Structure 1
Amino acid sequence: MKAFRTHPIGVDQGEAVLFSDFADGGDMWTGEGPRERCSAITFSQPFRSAPVVQIGVSLWDVDTSSALRAEVTTENITKEGFVAVFRTWSDTRIARIRVNWTALGEVAHEDDWDIS
């Protein structure tokens, strides 16, 4: 559990296309075996500390001739942003992926003092 102090709480949201490999024959569409794509996401303004981030797939365009194998996760969450990660493996063919995300955490307030 992440506990917040008495600071204001901010929510930031967004969407990002992680890749679109169908048009140019990229490896998510044409390859086999383990494959990964990462995309850096920047928050609209920094949080006071690393927020909680929820990520999900908002669009997937996939080939249905094989099993759908996929993992969508976040890595390296900081006050300023995070990395969205998509992984697949075996003979799964992914044409494109778009994710949506929500970040929730403490934000600065105009009355905050910086005593450093």
Structure 2
Amino acid sequence: MRKFGNHTVGVDQGDLVLFSDFEDDGEMWTGEGPRLTRRSVRFADSYDAPPVVQVSLSMWDISNGANARADVTSELVTRDGFDIVFRTWGDTRVARVRVAWISIGPIRNDDTWDL
């Protein structure tokens, strides 16, 4: 468990289309084997320390001709942002993916003093 002490807690969130590969025959739609897409996200404001980030699929459009294989995670979390990483493998064909995210962490408040 993460404890934030006497800090004010900030929450930021978003929802973004990570890719839409069926439109231009991109790798997630036409490829096979291990595939990865990474997208950087910046927070609206900086946190005092790297926040906790939760990501989830909010939409995916996937072919029914193979097994559905997907892994979505957050990586490289800093005070200013993080990366969303989507992976698939095998013969899975993913047309498009939208990812929702939420970050929770300590932020400065007006009563914080630097000594």
TM-score using structure 1 length: 0.96
The equivalent of 2:79 in structure 1 is 79
Q: Distance in 2 between matches of 1:114 and 1:97?
A: 43
Give matches, 1:93-108, under 5 Å.
93-108=93-108
Give matches, 1:1-116, under 5 Å.
1-115=1-115
CA apart distance, 1:3: 1.1
CA apart distance, 1:110: 1.5
Q: Distance in 2 between matches of 1:37 and 1:16?
A: 13
CA apart distance, 1:9: 0.6
Identity, % of aligned pairs? 50
Structure 1 residue runs of 5 or longer lacking an equivalent are none
Secondary structure class of the residue paired with 1:29 = helix
CA deviation vs aligned residue, 1:51-94 (integer Å, no higher than 9, x gap): 01110000100001100001000100011010000000000000
CA deviation vs aligned residue, 1:22-65 (integer Å, no higher than 9, x gap): 00000100000000000001111011100011100001000011
Q: Distance in 2 between matches of 1:50 and 1:44?
A: 14
What value does the CA root-mean-square deviation take over the aligned residues? 0.7
Structure 1 stretches of 4+ with a deviation exceeding 3 A read: none
CA apart distance, 1:16: 1.4
Secondary structure class of the residue paired with 2:84 = strand
TM-score using structure 2 length: 0.97
Q: Distance in 1 between matches of 2:65 and 2:56?
A: 23
CA apart distance, 1:113: 2.0
